[in-house]
Amino acid sequence: MTILRGSSEVKVPGGKLIRVQCIVDEAGKMLSSIIITGDFFLHPEEGIQKLEKDLIGLRAEPEILKSHIHNFFKKGYVLVGATPEDFATAVLKATSREDQTRRLGR
């Protein structure tokens, strides 16, 4: 099995930063791990862990991930310093084949 490890950093207007680290199973094109950090604010705070959990297992395809992220933030989460589109950009950059930092054969 081949997995791809990706990461991205997106600096949003106003100076906030979103960092994403992820692992994509290349054979199934599934997101198997993701960590989102940065200096943005999300209320309630545990929302970021919920988003990470919800993204795991999704196909790492731009339209699927972008749609899921936008729908997630419609559930009453409040973002300060970033937008759902900023999160989508960071996740898509990390999961895109061009931005993969390392391939691991297993």
Q: What is the pLDDT of residues 20-43, one digit of tens each?
A: 999 999 887 999 999 999 999 999
Residue numbers in the chain where pLDDT is lower than 50: 99, 101-106
Predicted local confidence at residue 102, as pLDDT:
46
pTM of the model: 0.88
Query: Which CATH number applies to 2-103: 1.10.390.10, 1.20.1740.10, 3.30.390.50, 3.30.9.10?
Result: 3.30.390.50
Euclidean distance between CA atoms 24 and 27, whole angstroms:
9
Alpha helices in the chain (DSSP H): 47-55, 62-73, 84-95
Predicted local confidence at residue 1, as pLDDT:
63
